[in-house]
Structure 1
Amino acid sequence: MLLSMTGHGEAHVDRDNVHVSVELRSVNNRYFKLNLRISDGYNGLESRIESLVRRYVHRGSVNANVRIVRDATPDDYHLNLTVLKSYRKQLESLCDELHLPELVHVNALLSLPGVVNERVGAAADADEDWSIVEAAVTQAAERLAEMRAEEGRAMQFDFERNAATITTELGEVESRAPLVVENYRTRLTERLNKLLAEYDVRVEPADVVREVGLFAERSDISEEIVRLRSHLEQFAAFIEQAESNGRKLEFLIQEMFREANTIGSKSNDARIAQHVVEIKTAVERMREMVQNVE
């Protein structure tokens, strides 16, 4: 089954006053690469998140955004009485010195730096919240995998359609190939007869046979046709396998293009050249698509 390297998956999990949002986006890459952004205090979970995403993605660059928010509880805040008393003492001293009425409300004191401290991102919290993060990342990764599989099915259809085009055009080339030598023999004979008539020159039949034989050897494309058809058969087998084989498919497409080029350069026939253009066009479309196959 083919898998696209492009996809998107999101998930949201709320449990035990913890809210986790995960967004995964993947694009093509020759190798696996994870670009992770995670809420402060949870950096210790990065390796676990990467291992989890790797279960679903083997090739591709994945951008992951993991946002973790804990609902505030009384235990999350600490009132620093020492700092509060210091602020209070300094304000009283200032009011006495400047002969000002003391109008400072307690809310103003609580808003001053260092009076109320928020406890954030302790290592124990990251471990405690891992099961929730794991659930959210798993859901997002599963949805990412579903999208990659759906796009992979569409790509497989396009691959099969282009492979069918190549097979059809290759059949036309194979049918035309024997006529190329025969046409060359006819043209050569006509030219020789014309020369013989004009200059009264004698040409041995063996010379004609030898020249036609050399041309047939130079223009023989039977091996290239066999190899190209073999590549098509292997390609069809690979896209039906359970595992996505992007690199193997990429190699086969390169070989197809090489064989098509050789056929075009050796054939020495305009009609075969037209079929080769269609073959190379289909192969080029496949080469562009395979860049996005895992």
Structure 2
Amino acid sequence: MVVSMTGFGRASGQVESCFMTVEMKSVNHRFLEISLKMPKQFLSIEDKIKKLISKFVSRGRIEVYVNLDGESLVEKSIHIDWDLLSHYVDTLHEINERFSLKDEVTLDQILSLREGIDILEESTSSDIVEKELLHIIESAVQQLSEMRKAEGEQLSVDLQARLADMRNIGEELELVAPTVVEQYREKLTKRVFEFVTGMIDENRILTEVALFADKADISEELTRLHSHIHQFEKTLQTSEPIGRKLDFLVQELNREANTIGSKANDGRIAKNVVELKSIIEKLKEQVQNIE
């Protein structure tokens, strides 16, 4: 099945005295990249969160936001380095005496020494809180995953329609290609007859037509084109991540279209090649967003 790499998920719940909200969005990316923005007391379970998300998504950039409303799950305390502060105050007094200053040592000066006073934070979150957070994250990523699948279904319909158009163009090229050589033979015979008096060298004409037919033959390219279209359609039905394989097939389709275009000696073939390359370009854009 086709799964898009674009999606959004949101879930929330009560965790002790806090209301927790988890939001995540995903965009296309070559690999799986998970970015977490959450309170630092949950950093210890960062790996668990990433493993949980990776069970539902295989590719894409996932941005996860965890917000808390209510009482903090962190206890704060103040730690004072009394020795350092005492040394700092003594030094200030010494400076005043040495330079005959009359400034008093103020509380603001003492508090300005950041190394002397630290605010410590200690997480109060329990295993129950962490378990509930993982549960909320799972709900959000499930919603994200469902949205990616729903968008993938729409992508699949669009891709199949474009593949059908490509197949029709390929079938039209198969009908046109044999007539190109015959038209070339007729034009060559007419030109020779107009410029050469007397007998026409039929063998020379046949040789020239044979060389042209060999250069203008697109049967192999059309066979490969239909094969790639079939592989593309078959891949759309598989359950594993298919984005990279589809990207490869798009490159192969484009290669065949370019080769057919380089051999085009007929206005009808050239017109079909332009339409073919336009469809392939649209396929490429869509495939970039498939997991």
Q: Where does residue 184 of structure 1 map in the other structure?
A: 184
Distance 1:281 1:212 in 2: 32
Identical-residue share of aligned pairs (%):
37
Distance 1:79 1:203 in 2: 108
TM-score by length of 1: 0.81
Task: Kindly indicate whether the alpha-carbon contact (under 8 Å) linking 1:220 and 1:267 is maintained by their aligned counterparts in 2.
Answer: no
Q: Where does residue 160 of structure 2 map in the other structure?
A: 160
Distance 2:278 2:26 in 1: 28
Alignment of 1:40-119 (within 5 A): 40-69=40-69, 71=71
SS of residue paired to 1:25: strand
- Residues 77 and 207 of structure 1: is their aligned pair in 2 closer, same or farther, counting only changes over 3 Å? closer
Matched, 1:262 2:256: no
- Residues 126 and 279 of structure 1: is their aligned pair in 2 closer, same or farther, counting only changes over 3 Å? farther
Distance 1:126 1:188 in 2: 88
Shifted more, 256-265 versus 124-133: the winner is 124-133
CA displacement 1:165-195 (0-9 Å, x = unmatched) = 1011111111000000000000000001111
Moved over 4 A (4+): 75-80, 118-121
Task: Kindly indicate whether the alpha-carbon contact (under 8 Å) linking 2:76 and 2:121 is maintained by their aligned counterparts in 1.
Answer: no
Distance 2:236 2:75 in 1: 54
Matched, 1:271 2:233: no
Matched, 1:233 2:230: yes
Task: Kindly indicate whether the alpha-carbon contact (under 8 Å) linking 2:78 and 2:120 is maintained by their aligned counterparts in 1.
Answer: no
Task: Kindly indicate whether the alpha-carbon contact (under 8 Å) linking 1:18 and 1:129 is maintained by their aligned counterparts in 2.
Answer: no
Gaps of 5+ in 1: 81-117
Q: Where does residue 94 of structure 1 map in the other structure?
A: none
Q: Where does residue 243 of structure 2 map in the other structure?
A: 246
Q: Where does residue 136 of structure 1 map in the other structure?
A: 136
What CA RMSD, in Å, does the superposition of the two structures yield over aligned residues?
A: 2.4
SS of residue paired to 1:259: helix
**Displacement of 1:78 after TM fit?**
7.8
CA displacement 1:42-94 (0-9 Å, x = unmatched) = 21121111111111111111111012456479x968899xxxxxxxxxxxxxx
Shifted more, 249-258 versus 14-23: the winner is 14-23
Gaps of 5+ in 2: 80-118
Task: Kindly indicate whether the alpha-carbon contact (under 8 Å) linking 2:9 and 2:23 is maintained by their aligned counterparts in 1.
Answer: yes
